[in-house]
């Protein structure tokens, strides 16, 4: 239980990580679980990407940058962004780049089901070749009050929706990450966040069709970046980063609002809409400012992470909803 509220940049990992995860991590370390613990220690030099299997889409990178989505400030240096990640399947540390290399990203299939014209399972390479890849520079704002500016490669999420052919009765999209303890030891029974896997996130169909919603297949001009959630993850830059689900294997169209991984774990701290708002504090820390992991500087957080012109309209009639995480 937190007694004294510190300023954001003073948040130790024990406060920024939900208690249930933090305590299970301590238990795990105490038990000397060497395999899982190995993924918790910093390996700053390691920004390696997939090299175990050929990527049939490799020739599509680097994709052309779409200058509509750019940022006037500095990009976060690749070696910094690729070595400071949240990917709890590989541990609660930020330094999971090395552990994440256990992820096998080929073959990789995505299942589309639920309220769709026809359920289908598609190979990731078929999907990537069916869409138009481009590069967009987006700001990433984690709910833990750190941020980065990253050139993502991918395609607009509306293309994914079109590909899936949802029924008009579908209102939400539920997405699921792989659940395979052989690739992610933290998913073994009795380990981190036991019973809460796979990682799940969701959004409304309107959000998915917003032009900013982006399915990411690569970063910094390359595909197959495992620590960034290869081979495919979501990026909705106006929301806190926990909505940006990585390594997706299933996309379900539904009329029921999905309950995400964090919402299930700690609903009082993490909600469904999770839009960035500097004026609404997290129950354990302020969201007024953020630490840029590239420069180390603090800067004021901006409503909708600065993307209000694109997305504020999505929420204007949602009275009584918990719009901010």
From its phi and psi, is residue 114 left (phi > 0), alpha (psi between -120 and 50) or beta? left
Of 267-286, binders to ligand MTE (CB under 6 A) are none
How many residues at the interface with ligand MTE, by CB under 6 A? 17
Residue selected from 138, 172, 199, 273 as contacting ligand MTE according to rule CB under 6 A: 199
Cα–Cα separations (whole angstroms), residue 127 to 53, 160, 163, 183: 18, 9, 9, 23
In angstroms, give the least distance from the CB of 202 to ligand MTE: 13
Shortest separation between residue 320's beta carbon and ligand MTE, angstroms: 26
In this chain, which of 89, 186, 207, 263 binds ligand MTE, going by CB under 6 A? 89
DSSP 222: E
- Closest to ligand MTE by CB, 155 vs 199, is 199
The strand pairing partners of 219, in sequence order, are 152, 222
The DSSP output letter for 315 is H
Piece of the chain touching ligand MTE by CB under 6 A; list 6-14, 58-66, 86-94, 207-215: 86-94
Map residue 81 onto helix, strand or coil: helix
Which residues lie below 8 Å from residue 18, measured CB to CB, with a gap of 6+? 262, 265, 266, 269
76 touching ligand MTE, by CB under 6 A: no
What residues contact 5, with CB distance under 8 A and at least 6 apart? 284, 285, 286
Find the shortest distance in angstroms from Cβ 150 to ligand MTE: 7
d(CA 174, CA 105): 21
- Give the contact letters, 112-151, x = binds to ligand MTE (CB under 6 A), - = no: ----------------------------x-x---------
Encoding tokens for residue 117? 């014209």
Q: Which of residues 160-189 bind ligand MTE (CB under 6 A)?
A: 177
Binding mask 208-247 for ligand MTE (x = CB under 6 A): --------------------xx-----------xx-xxxx
- Nearer residue to ligand MTE within complex by CB, 142 or 212: 142
Q: What is the smallest separation between the CB atom of 243 and ligand MTE, expressed in angstroms? A: 7
Longest CA span, the chain? 53
Give the strands of the sheet with 120-123, arranged side by side: 120-123, 109-114, 248-254, 172-177, 200-204
CA distances to 66, 108, 153, 305 from 133, rounded to whole Å, are: 10, 18, 7, 24
- Comparing CB distances to ligand MTE, the nearer of 151 and 241 is 241
From 2-10, 84-92, 166-174, 314-322, span contacting ligand MTE (CB under 6 A): 84-92
Residues that bind ligand MTE (CB under 6 A): 85-89, 140, 142, 177, 199, 228-229, 241-242, 244-247
């Amino acid at each position: 239980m937190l007694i004294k509220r510190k300023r954001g940049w003073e948040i130790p990992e024990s406060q920024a990580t939900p208690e249930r995860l933090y305590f299970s991590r301590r238990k795990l370390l105490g038990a000397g679980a060497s395999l899982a613990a190995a993924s918790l220690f910093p390996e700053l030099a390691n920004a390696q990407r997939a090299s175990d299997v050929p990527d049939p889409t490799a020739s599509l990178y680097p994709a052309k940058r779409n200058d509509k989505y750019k940022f006037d400030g500095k990009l976060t240096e690749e070696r910094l962004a690729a070595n400071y990640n949240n990917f709890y399947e590989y541990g609660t540390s930020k330094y999971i780049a090395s552990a994440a290399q256990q992820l096998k990203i080929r073959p990789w299939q995505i299942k589309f089901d639920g309220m769709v014209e026809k359920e289908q399972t598609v190979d990731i390479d078929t999907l990537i070749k069916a869409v138009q890849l481009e590069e967009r520079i987006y700001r990433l704002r984690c709910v833990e009050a750190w941020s980065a500016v990253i050139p993502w490669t991918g395609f607009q999420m509306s293309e994914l929706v079109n590909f899936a052919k949802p029924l008009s009765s579908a209102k939400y999209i539920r997405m699921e990450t792989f659940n395979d303890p052989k690739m992610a030891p933290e998913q073994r029974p009795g380990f981190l966040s036991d019973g809460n896997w796979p990682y799940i996130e969701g959004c409304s169909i309107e959000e998915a069709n917003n032009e900013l919603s982006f399915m990411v297949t690569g970063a910094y001009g390359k595909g197959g970046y495992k620590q960034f959630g290869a081979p495919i993850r979501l990026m909705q830059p106006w929301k806190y980063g926990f909505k940006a689900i990585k390594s997706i294997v299933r996309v379900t169209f539904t009329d029921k609002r999905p309950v995400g991984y964090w919402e299930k774990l700690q609903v009082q701290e993490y909600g469904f809409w999770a839009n960035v708002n500097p004026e609404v504090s997290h129950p354990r820390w302020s969201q007024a400012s953020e630490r840029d992991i590239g420069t180390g500087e603090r800067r004021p957080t901006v409503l909708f992470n600065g993307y209000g012109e694109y997305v504020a309209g999505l929420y204007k009639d949602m009275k009584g909803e918990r719009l901010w995480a």
